[in-house]
Amino acid sequence: MVLESRGNLLMLSSVSRKDSGIYQCRLLDSVGQAEVKGEVQLTVHYLDPALVVPQDSEVMLKGENLVASCNALSSLKTVTIWYKDGKQVGYSNMLHLDDATYETSGEYVCEVTVPSLPSLHTRGSVHIIVQGGPQVVGVEEEVQLEEVAGRMVNLSCEAQGHPPPSISWNIIGSQNWQEVMSKANDHMTHSMVSVKVNSDVSAVCNATNDMGTEVKVFSIKAIPRVTRTPPFSPVEGSGVIIVVIILCLLLLASLGSVLYFLHKKGKIPCGRSGKQEITKEKPTKDDIVVEMKNNPKNEDAVLLKAVNGEKKGPNDQ
C-alpha cells in the first residue's frame, strides 16, 4: 500500500496498534524504476482498558465466597494489583473473597501497569455489598455500668447490616431520656441516647432489618450521691501548730520588752511606798539588805547598809 509522504518524510498521526508493520521507502529514477530502497519495522505498544468481572457491583450473602477478575490486553507484560480503601489486598489478576463479612463490603480497585512502559496503565473497579441480618458492633452482648444518682449517661449503639438496620430503644427505670444522635449509611446505623440515672436502669438497643434482629443490653447501677469532706493532712496540721507557737513566742517577747521598758522609765512602782524589800526575813548582823529607791537624778542608785543592831551614819559606811 502506497502512503502519501512529504518529500522524504512520512508522517503518522494518532498511531494505534494497526499501524504496526514494515515500512519501505524507495528512490525512483527518471523512468520510474526503483534504484534504492530501505525499510523499518514499526511496533506500536498498547494496553487496553481493564475489564473487571463481576462488573459495577455485586451482592453476596454473609459467609459466601467470591472470585473477581481483572484483565487488560497488552503488547507487553503487565502487573495487576488490587486495592481497597487505599490498601493493597491482592497481587494478581484474580481476587479471592472468602467467608464474607460486613467488613468485606466496599469498593475494590484493580490497577494494571506495564513495568517496561510506566506511561501505560489502566484501572477498573467493582463494588461489593454483603447482605445479612443486623450485627451489633462490640463483643459484649450486655454492658455493666455504674453511675452516681442524678447524673446523665450517654449510651451508644452501632449496628451493621444490609439492608441498613433500624435502631429502637427500650428504657426501664428512667423516664428522663432522649435520643441525641442518629445516623446511617449503606451498611451501618448508629444511635446514641442520653439517660438520667435516678435508680437502677436497664436499656435495650434493638437493631432490626428484613433479615433479622439483634439486641444489646446496658445495665446501669445507681450509686448514692455522697458528700465527701477533704481528708485531714498531718503535714498541714503540723504547719499550723508551728505557726501558732511562733506567734505566741513573738507575742510573749513583745510583752516582756514592753514591761521592761515601762519598768525602766518608772511607770511600774516596786511597792506602795515606792520601794520593795527583796527579802522579808529579819535581818541579822551578817546580812546585807538591798533597797531600791526612786531618785530623780539617778534612777539606778542603790543604798547598801550594814546591819549590826544599830543604824550608822553616812560617814561610817
Strands 142-148 and 212-223: parallel
Here the cell at position 177 is 431520656
* pLDDT, block means (10 residues), the chain with 317 residues: 84 90 84 76 94 93 95 95 95 95 94 94 95 84 87 93 93 92 88 94 94 92 77 65 87 83 67 46 49 48 42 46
Cell numbers linked to 120 = 501505560
Cα torsion at 306, 310, 314, 317 (round to 10°)? -30
Q: What Rg do the C-alpha atoms of the chain give, in angstroms?
A: 55
Strands of 66-71's sheet in order across? 51-53, 66-71, 94-97
| Of 108, 109, 156, 100, nearest in space to 130 by CA | 100
pLDDT of residue 82: 97
Distance CA 56, CA 58 (A): 7
Residue type, 4: E
pLDDT of residue 307: 41
Whole-prediction pTM value? 0.58
pLDDT for residue 228: 65
Query: Cis bond leading into 118, ω under 30°?
Result: no
> What's the pLDDT score for residue 158?
93
8 Å CB contact between 182 and 166: no
Q: Cα angle at 74 between 68 and 79, to 5 degrees? A: 55
pLDDT at 312: 46
